[in-house]
Amino acid sequence: MKVSKFSIVTLFLLGTGFIFSSCSSSVPLAKVQESREIKLPFSEKEFKSNTDFLRVVAHGESASSTLAEKIAMQNAQTNLATRINSLVKNVTEDYSKNISDANSNEFTSSFETQGRVITNESLSMINVLDKKVLLKPNNIYDIWVVIEVSKKSLLEGATKSMSNNKKLQLEADKIRFREIFESEMNKIDR
């Protein structure tokens, strides 16, 4: 069976054409040009986390404005708690690398337990920075909130938690811990 160069080139070009035609966008260019950007509430820089505050934006929807606000606050607090827990985990892991291997597992375990306490205390110190109430055409309230917690209060809570726990006191180099904590806080939203 002898295959000519012409047949191979023809098959290649047909296959390439098929691939390119099947990869094209299914959205006509006119539809893309009609699209418009939607600006979400609180997307400006002043509502983002910065060197002093950890901030979270969330929203809730309901036919009742009271319920919509409760949902928004619950969503915001859940998001903030997740970020604080992640922060505590990162700080614990980094700090554990700086202490003796024999005690690092015990420190990690003890401090992660304290992390839940730090998170709960932090949630009691939140401040509602701003709130927007939107009413959709179908009479559904869409409430947006921005909450914040001071990074300084987070650090103070973590340091206090270390001071109150005897196991953590033994291994605590508070200066090094503060450096790691501040480094992790500076990574947020950057």
By the 10 Å C-beta count (0-12 exposed, 13-18 middle, 19+ buried), 69 is classed as buried
Query: Is residue 37 domain-resident?
Result: no
The whole domain housing 63 covers 45-187
pLDDT tens string 153-187: 888 887 777 676 655 554 556 677 777 778 887 77
pLDDT tens string 123-147: 888 999 999 999 999 999 999 999 9
**107 and 156 part of one domain:** yes
**112 and 178 part of one domain:** yes
pTM of model > 0.85: no
Query: Is residue 35 domain-resident?
Result: no
As a whole number of angstroms, the distance between CA 95 and CA 159 comes to 13
pLDDT tens string 94-126: 777 776 555 666 666 666 777 777 788 888 889
As a whole number of angstroms, the distance between CA 121 and CA 159 comes to 13
Write the DSSP symbol of residue 109. H
Query: Is residue 38 domain-resident?
Result: no
Total number of residues shown for the chain: 190
Number of structural domains, the chain?
2
**99 and 21 part of one domain:** no
As a whole number of angstroms, the distance between CA 156 and CA 87 comes to 14
**163 and 79 part of one domain:** yes
